[in-house]
């Protein structure tokens, strides 16, 4: 009997300790991730009693609020939060009353220290449209080409008598809502507002598995997103306000890759606008992107020249090897060869100076390169799709874009379009603009969030004039 009482007392003591910890962890906690650009992450932790907690998350700079946390618990190792739909997790320990030190993982480990905070607010951007609007706006739903995916969207319709030309907006990489929100910016809301004022119907949708759209984003590829675009076109064709002969696609970044994929298989599209859409093989684009981003971060030319061939070889190994154990072994061997042949000063610049950094790189690349989306993306060549186009095409790039380099990219698009059957096409580099088509100063990835402008009026007007000349 005494033994039973002792065990029972230990259990009660343990539960009391967990309950006390739960109380210490509850509240709103905010920190900053830095995967190349600072992003605020906020966790709201609630005490459910009996030592249990629940959590939700916000990413204010991406205007994503109320993100589902599937699992949240406290044990001897501290706090654990899992977000299965995003393939993300957080693990941290309480330090004092107002600080949790930990690590956020989403394909790679990133330090994330959380401070107890009040309600987080998104940054105000002056270009975000404000009512009253000279057009109507409706929230709508429609099926993807894959009927198991239901897409939630907004359609804006100009005032007056139709039918009107129409545009379907296609977001860039990563889980995006219908406004393509990032760091408080809403590029697609700004673009939709501008175009609807110009007399265009505009349809923009939450990506599958994002916002109010159903489906699984984490296991989807660009081909799946193309199916979603087909569904959007069919929806536009069903609307009596739409001029069926003047429907087009406007894609940004990966959206500018998906648009030609869709258009190459259809005869009912009138035009495409490709905003920093890829024009060369993605492996070549990524090599140039990595070099440009490293340079913008202050890495020396010598270190970049040493790194890019190694990066290319690692991509090839991880993408093309189907056996996971063989791929991991080949990646380790590739890294060892690179480290043994590279000057230690250059390795230090590249943060590859010790075994710990080597392990982190291998783990990160292995996790990232095994996602269905990235394996598909890195094998992609846009040329066959661009060369099959028959519709009108405008392709634009910011002159200071370091993610999709304009000289390499636009020449690739132009070369492909010269082979196509389209009679109306234009490629243009817009000076001084970055990948988001903002007027930039430092023109780094980190600067995106510092710039108040969401889309430069230069880019909006260029698109508007081309559409008015060739579509309306």
- Report the SS3 class of residue 20: helix
Task: Kindly tell me the number of DSSP H helices and DSSP E strands found in the chain.
Answer: 13, 18
Mean pLDDT along residues 289-304: 92
Single out the residue of 404, 378, 383 nearest to residue 275, CA to CA.
Answer: 404
Cis peptide before 270 (omega within 30 of 0): no
Query: What is the arithmetic mean of pLDDT over 309-313?
Result: 92
| Most confident region among 2-11, 57-66, 266-275 by mean pLDDT | 266-275
Q: What pLDDT is stored for residue 118 in this prediction?
A: 66
Residue corresponding to tokens 């392990």: 359
Instruction: Record the tokens describing residue 338, joined without a space.
Output: 């690179």
In the 8-state DSSP scheme, what is residue 62?
G
Distances (CA, A) of 303 to 3, 307, 335, 337, 408: 66, 6, 15, 16, 22
Residue 19 has pLDDT above 60, yes or no: no
Neighbouring-strand partners of residue 27: 45
Close Cβ partners of 52 (under 8 Å, ≥ 6 residues apart): 22, 73
Tokens of 216: 């699984």
Which residues have C-beta within 8 Å of that of residue 303, sequence separation ≥ 6? 294, 346, 349, 350
Beta sheet of 164-170, edge-to-edge order: 135-143, 150-158, 201-205, 164-170, 242-252, 271-275, 392-398, 425-430
pLDDT band for 117, please (50, 70, 90 cuts): confident
Mean pLDDT of 360-375: 81
Q: What is the pLDDT of residue 360?
A: 82
CATH level 2 (architecture), domain 135-281+380-470: 3-Layer(aba) Sandwich (3.40)
Confidence of residue 2 (pLDDT cuts 50, 70, 90): very low
In terms of DSSP bridges, do strands 201-205 and 164-170 run parallel, antiparallel, or are they unpaired? parallel
Count of other CB atoms within 10 angstroms of residue 187? 25
Give the containing element (helix H, strand E) for 283: helix 282-296
Higher-confidence residue: 58 or 143?
A: 143
Q: Is the pLDDT of residue 9 over 80?
A: no
**8 A C-beta contact, residue 307 and residue 295:** no
Buried/exposed code over 119-146 (b: 16+ C-beta within 10 A; e: otherwise): ebebeebebeeeeeeebeeeeeebbbbe
Q: Please report which confidence band the pLDDT of residue 106 belongs to, taking 50, 70 and 90 as the band edges.
A: confident
- Percentage of the residues of the chain whose pLDDT score is greater than 70: 93
pLDDT band at 11 (very low <50, low <70, confident <90, very high): very low
Q: Inform me whether the pLDDT recorded for 61 exceeds 70.
A: yes
pLDDT at 119: 58
Contact indicator for 201, 165 with CB cutoff of 8 Å: yes
The fraction of the chain above a pLDDT of 90, given in percent, is 64
Structure tokens at 272: 């495409």
CA–CA separation, 470 vs 91, rounded Å? 54
Q: What is the CA radius of gyration of the chain?
A: 25
The answer for residues whose C-beta is within 8 angstroms of residue 207's C-beta and 6 or more apart is 171, 175, 176, 177, 213, 217, 225, 228
What's the rounded mean pLDDT across residues 14-26?
52
Using pLDDT thresholds of 50, 70 and 90, give the confidence band for residue 50. Answer: low
Portions of the chain given CATH number 3.40.50.1820:
135-281+380-470
Residue 15 in this model has a pLDDT that exceeds 60: no
Q: Which part of the chain has CATH 2.40.128.120?
A: 22-116
Residue 36 clears pLDDT 70, i.e. is over it: no
**Domain 22-116 carries which CATH code?**
2.40.128.120
Mean pLDDT for the chain overall: 89
The closest of 146, 250, 152 to 201, measured between CA atoms, is: 250
pLDDT (tens digit, 9 = 90+) per residue, 460-469? 999 999 999 9
pLDDT in tens, 416-459: 999 999 999 999 999 999 999 999 999 988 888 889 999 999 99
Is there a contact between 436 and 180 (Cβ–Cβ < 8 Å)?
no
Give the 3-state secondary structure percentages of the chain, helix then strand then coil, rounded to 5. Answer: 40, 25, 35
Position 138 pLDDT exceeds 80: yes
Match 């002056």 to its residue by tokens.
126
Q: Would the pLDDT of 1 be above 50?
A: no
Position 26 scores a pLDDT of 85
Has residue 65 got a pLDDT over 90?
no
Quick check: 20 pLDDT over 50?
no
pLDDT at 23: 59
Range list of β-strands (E), 253-362: 271-275
pLDDT at 120 over 60: no
- The pLDDT assigned to 18 comes to 39
């Amino acid at each position: 009997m005494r033994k039973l009482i002792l065990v029972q007392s230990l259990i009660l003591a343990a539960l009391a300790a967990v309950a006390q910890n739960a109380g210490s962890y509850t509240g709103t906690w905010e920190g900053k991730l830095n995967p190349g650009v600072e992003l605020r992450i906020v966790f709201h932790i609630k005490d459910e009693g009996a030592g249990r907690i629940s959590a939700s998350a916000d990413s204010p700079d991406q205007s994503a609020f109320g993100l589902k946390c599937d699992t949240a618990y406290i044990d001897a190792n501290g706090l654990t939060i899992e977000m299965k739909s995003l393939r993300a997790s957080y693990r941290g320990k309480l330090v004092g009353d107002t600080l949790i030190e930990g690590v956020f993982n989403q394909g790679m480990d990133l330090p994330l220290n959380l401070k107890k905070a009040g309600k987080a607010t998104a940054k105000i951007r002056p270009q975000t449209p404000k009512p009253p609007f000279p057009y109507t706006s409706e929230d709508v739903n429609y099926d993807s080409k894959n009927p198991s995916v239901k897409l939630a969207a907004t359609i804006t319709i100009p005032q007056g008598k139709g039918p009107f030309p129409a545009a379907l907006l296609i977001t860039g990489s990563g889980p995006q809502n219908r406004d393509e929100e990032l760091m408080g910016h809403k590029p697609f809301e700004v673009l939709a507002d501008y175009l609807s004022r110009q007399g265009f119907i505009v349809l923009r949708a939450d990506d599958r598995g994002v916002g109010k759209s159903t489906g699984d984003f984490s296991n989807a590829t660009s081909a799946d997103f193309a199916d979603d675009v087909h569904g959007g076109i069919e929806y536009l064709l069903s609307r009596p306000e739409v001029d069926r002969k003047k429907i087009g696609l406007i894609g940004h970044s990966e959206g500018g890759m998906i648009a030609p994929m869709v258009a190459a298989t259809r005869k009912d599209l009138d035009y495409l606008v490709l905003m920093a859409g890829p024009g060369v093989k993605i492996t070549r684009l990524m090599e140039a992107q990595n070099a440009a981003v490293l340079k913008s971060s202050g890495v020396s030319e010598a270190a970049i020249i040493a790194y890019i061939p190694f990066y290319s070889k690692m991509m090839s190994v991880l993408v093309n090897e189907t056996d996971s154990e063989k791929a991991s072994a080949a990646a380790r061997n590739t890294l060892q060869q690179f480290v043994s042949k590279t000057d230690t000063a250059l390795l230090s610049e590249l943060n590859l100076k010790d075994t710990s950094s080597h392990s982190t790189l291998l783990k990160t690349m292995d996790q990232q390169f095994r996602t269905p989306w990235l394996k598909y993306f890195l094998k992609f060549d846009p040329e066959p799709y661009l060369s099959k186009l028959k519709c009108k095409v405008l392709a634009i790039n910011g002159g200071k874009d370091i993610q999709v380099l304009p000289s390499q990219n636009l020449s690739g698009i132009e070369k492909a379009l010269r082979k196509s059957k389209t009679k109306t096409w234009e490629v243009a580099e817009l000076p001084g603009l970055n990948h988001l088509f903002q007027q930039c100063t430092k023109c780094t990835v980190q600067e995106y969030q510092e710039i108040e402008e969401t889309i430069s009026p230069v880019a909006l007007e260029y698109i508007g004039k081309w559409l008015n000349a060739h579509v309306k």
